[in-house]
């Protein structure tokens, strides 16, 4: 009996679904176009409002914390990776690392060769 009730329930659900589907009123081309334009306009307006609030709050924070404006700017060196790296020596002095990529690869090859020779 449980199988018949399940089957009848599923069939009933599909019949009701079909009758409800027929009641749907789809928008015409003109109404669809108008509704789409309204949605796009609302998105643009909300975007501008959020941008205005964000800019205003950023300016207010910049007045309170003057360094804030500079801390959010990404420099060209950070993007390209052309930042000079300073290594600390054991005496506490800093030495700039001016090696190029080719020199670094040669040094790595020399070190691996030396490590292999030491291991043998």
Task: Assign 3-class secondary structure to 23-89.
Answer: CCCCCCHHHHHHHHHHHHHHHHHHHHHHHHHHHHHHHHHHHHCCCHHHHCCCCHHHHHCCCCEEEEC
Residue 71 is encoded by which pair of tokens?
């801390």
In tens, the pLDDT along 60-108 reads 988 888 766 555 566 666 667 665 655 555 555 555 555 555 555 445 5
Question: Confidence band (pLDDT; 50, 70, 90) for 1?
Answer: very low
Residue 3 is encoded by which pair of tokens?
């199988």
The enclosing H or E element of 108 equals helix 101-119
- Determine how many CB atoms are found less than 10 A away from the CB of residue 68: 14
In tens, the pLDDT along 102-115 reads 555 445 555 556 65
Residue 18 is encoded by which pair of tokens?
């079909």
pTM reported for the whole predicted model:
0.42
What are the backbone angles phi and psi of residue 118, rounded to the nearest 5°? -65, -35
Question: Confidence band (pLDDT; 50, 70, 90) for 47?
Answer: very high
For residue 71, CA distances in Å to 51, 61, 65, 86, 108 come to 20, 12, 10, 21, 35
């Amino acid at each position: 009996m449980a199988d018949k009730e399940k089957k009848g329930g599923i069939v009933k659900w599909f019949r009701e679904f079909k009758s409800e589907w027929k009641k749907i009123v789809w928008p015409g081309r003109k109404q669809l176009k108008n509704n789409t334009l309204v949605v796009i306009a609302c998105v643009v307006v909300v975007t501008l409002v959020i941008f205005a609030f964000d800019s205003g709050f950023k300016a207010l924070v910049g007045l309170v914390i003057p360094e804030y404006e500079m801390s959010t700017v990404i420099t060209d060196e950070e993007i390209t990776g052309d930042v000079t790296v300073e290594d600390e020596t054991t005496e506490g002095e800093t030495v700039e690392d001016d090696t190029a990529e080719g020199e670094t690869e040669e040094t790595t090859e020399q070190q691996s060769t030396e490590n292999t020779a030491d291991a043998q």
